[in-house]
Structure 1
């Protein structure tokens, strides 16, 4: 991948060779490891865990997943909250699997029913300041890529479509962020009094080929004034965000679990509390008996991108590295008529589109569809779920006789390709 020429100055960091595993990212992760050892954060960790467990009314199977999921949600809060100074902005990746930096294990940072295809990054923004976001795209441009400016409640202030932004011949780009109109600037995000944070979604449809953006930020204007937050102040902020993350995820899961299980036919669009503008969401939950699977039939309505991921009640996606805990359109085998059929459950049914629930017989599905044509979704947009008996998979009763099959050897190859593709965004390797 060619390097983007930059002028090296004390004020402007050099873009590293990797778009996500940057020196700044590693420095931030190591600092977060120190932050979670602070007494205020450790006290919050225990208090939030007790409160969340008391409210969740989770099954015994989900309770077994709490410890690992909670570690991720809480560490994500530490990572996110400690990059919150708009006078000293950094680019921080907030949803990664566990890995090592300098011989230390860095926990995963998934939370809030994340999208496993997405590299999520944040930059703190003030409407009183001016910024330039510089970077470059890779050879594999993404199907879906958005720079969304949020207010403090995750409501959209402005959005730049990264797929369609102006890019120079060498792949470089500059995005301006301030409260003024664009005034001829090609890639402009207009801020204002409510501006709080730039939230960047790099969505990788083809894990083996799509490239996340290289991104760096510079605050323009005069020298930075005012002191940096002390460690005690950072700890207070992390503790507050830990409580918020648990509350936010708890409400999401409660909403899913209020619905009738094994019904998967609700579609909606949203532009608040973190949902993506112009994206269709189809959500539900499955609840299975031994020997059953949940089958989802999808007609994508012309979407260039969609994904079908599984999550636990704690809001972390399931195993997406060693198992097929999610499948997107590029990873799926279509039916003869162009629709897609997914079989969800803990037992491999031998069909091409098996979404592995990692031993769970219950869970949350959040199918996301995006990048429709100019007229929006076609009328055939649909996602319907039904329970089938595994013993009936090869009979007409299941309605799956025409669904593509795979062998055990083909399944193992599928997982190998999946692992290799994921490591393109996590070159440090996955830590257990």
Structure 2
């Protein structure tokens, strides 16, 4: 999409009406792509809500900040629920200039890990994702010299600055954005990292020279329609790729995400779930002998993770129960089976199952077994505990509390 041409004698920059015109048909366009045979009113409103959330995130990540004055902004979370966000991650992003000199500073916190990836593509453009290929580098805060309070400083630049003997990360050519993932598994107790970024080659006190121009701000505003449609279309296409290549109710390790900016330290397993309300899927897998982190989640057919604040739609290695034989078994279903490892798929006709294993010593292949819902316990170990409705309500209250305690904004 491009900005409309101004009328003769009008301002050279688009008016508010011009900008709104660019956004006018975004929601209905996405509905038509998602449900070409016709959407229900509930589905239409759901897509409008998703488009509005990505529009809001686009202002923060695309319009408010740029590579001259970078700030890490929230990218994917329970409000900006797009791209199959991992509920254990707080994602944030900022644009950067591959020729610039930046300093990242802050405090490490106590969460499981914090990784910052250099991205060689603009996340609003599916074409650029495919053309750019995998991320060029991923950095870990634990590789830095941390102070007694977890404080750190690291310079990110194409070359190590003269005389700098502190921590330094090489900034690779073609990098246009940083993507930060903060992983916490005990949402109620772990403390997320605090991370700031400053540009050092910014001309000193001449701040006016680095302000965003009206032309640049108007252009970025005009790009919001592409931001929304590009992000959502990309993930709908990815889900359909999984359906075509992995089949239905069959889980396999994905190589697709490795080419699209997934963490190089992480293995991804993906499946399409499609079951009736009187059926269930049992996810059954051995676990790596060692790993830094693992989890499983369920998402819809646009790759929006099922509401993890109010539903138990994900489990990580701190939340899940591992059976006495060392295997992880989870039940994916619409109804609560009364077991600890329930993955609530919500009222979805079909969608995605995804597992992540971070820095595993080995990567066992999981499997899915479709069973009648009434026979779930016949396929689980005899000592699988019973979770009562009252116990589930208590679990969900703690989950909701923990999700809100994390700093996603």
Q: Which runs of 4+ in 1 moved over 6 A?
A: none
Asked if 1:312 is matched to 2:291, the reply is: no
Q: Which residue of 2 aligns with 1:66?
A: 47
Shift of 1:388: 1.1
Shift of 1:361: 4.1
On the 8 A contact 2:314/2:343 being kept in 1, the answer is: yes
Q: Secondary structure at the match of 1:404?
A: coil
Q: Distance in 1 between matches of 2:19 and 2:54?
A: 13
On the 8 A contact 1:265/1:383 being kept in 2, the answer is: yes
On the 8 A contact 1:393/1:401 being kept in 2, the answer is: no
On the 8 A contact 2:253/2:267 being kept in 1, the answer is: no
Q: Distance in 2 between matches of 1:342 and 1:263?
A: 15
> Normalised by the size of structure 2, how large is the TM-score?
0.83
Q: Which residue of 1 aligns with 2:387?
A: 406
Q: Which residue of 2 aligns with 1:134?
A: 105
Structure 1: segments with no counterpart, 5+ residues? 1-36, 98-107
On the 8 A contact 1:264/1:284 being kept in 2, the answer is: yes
Q: Secondary structure at the match of 1:332?
A: coil
Q: Which residue of 1 aligns with 2:406?
A: 425
Q: Secondary structure at the match of 1:307?
A: strand
Aligned residues: 373
Q: Which residue of 2 aligns with 1:210?
A: 190
Q: Distance in 1 between matches of 2:374 and 2:114?
A: 42
Q: Which residue of 2 aligns with 1:20?
A: none
Q: Distance in 2 between matches of 1:43 and 1:300?
A: 52
Q: Secondary structure at the match of 1:163?
A: helix
Among 59, 74, 90, the residue aligned to 1:119:
90
- Residues 109 and 290 (structure 1), Cα distance of their counterparts in 2 relative to 1, 3 Å cut: closer
Structure 2: segments with no counterpart, 5+ residues? 1-14, 122-127
Shift of 1:83: 4.5
Q: Distance in 1 between matches of 2:247 and 2:259?
A: 24
Cα distance per residue 1:3-50 (max 9 Å; x no partner): xxxxxxxxxxxxxxxxxxxxxxxxxxxxxxxxxx95455434443323
Cα distance per residue 1:266-320 (max 9 Å; x no partner): 3448543231111000001111123111110122223231111111122221111
Asked if 1:160 is matched to 2:153, the reply is: no
Q: Which residue of 2 aligns with 1:294?
A: 281
Among 82, 89, 92, the residue aligned to 2:63:
82
Shift of 1:189: 2.2
On the 8 A contact 2:294/2:316 being kept in 1, the answer is: yes
- Residues 44 and 388 (structure 1), Cα distance of their counterparts in 2 relative to 1, 3 Å cut: farther
Q: Which residue of 2 aligns with 1:51?
A: 29
Q: Which residue of 1 aligns with 2:264?
A: 277
Q: Distance in 1 between matches of 2:213 and 2:305?
A: 32
Give the 5 Å matches for 1:175-254: 175-181=154-160, 185=165, 187-221=167-201, 222=203, 223-224=206-207, 225=209, 227-230=211-214, 231-254=217-240
Shift of 1:131: 0.8
Q: Distance in 1 between matches of 2:16 and 2:313?
A: 34
Shift of 1:162: 1.8
Q: Which residue of 2 aligns with 1:13?
A: none
- Residues 82 and 260 (structure 1), Cα distance of their counterparts in 2 relative to 1, 3 Å cut: same
- Residues 427 and 261 (structure 1), Cα distance of their counterparts in 2 relative to 1, 3 Å cut: closer
Report the RMSD for the aligned CA atoms in angstroms: 2.6
On the 8 A contact 1:83/1:124 being kept in 2, the answer is: no
Q: Secondary structure at the match of 1:330?
A: coil
Most deviating of 229-238 and 109-118: 229-238
